[in-house]
Amino acid sequence: MRLTAASLAVMIAAASSASAQDWVLDHDASAVSFEIAIFGAPAEARFDDFDAQITLDPEDLASARIEAVVRTASGAMDISDYQQALLSGDGLAPRAHPEARFSSEDVRATDEGYEAHGVLTVRGSDSPAVLSFTLEIDGGRAVARGGFDLSRTDFGISAASWGANNVGEAVRVRVHIEADAG
Q: What is the pTM of this model?
A: 0.85
What pLDDT does residue 164 have?
A: 62
The model's pLDDT over 37-84, given as tens digits with 9 standing for 90+, comes to 998 999 999 999 999 999 999 999 999 999 999 999 999 999 988 899
CA gap 55, 162 in Å, rounded: 41
Start-to-end Cα distance in the chain:
35
Q: Is the pLDDT of residue 18 over 70?
A: no
> How far apart (Å, rounded) are the C-alpha atoms in residues 80 and 110?
40
Q: All domains of the chain, ordered by start, with CATH? A: 21-181 (2.40.128.110)
DSSP label at residue 157:
-
Closest of 170, 169, 167 to residue 39, by C-alpha: 167
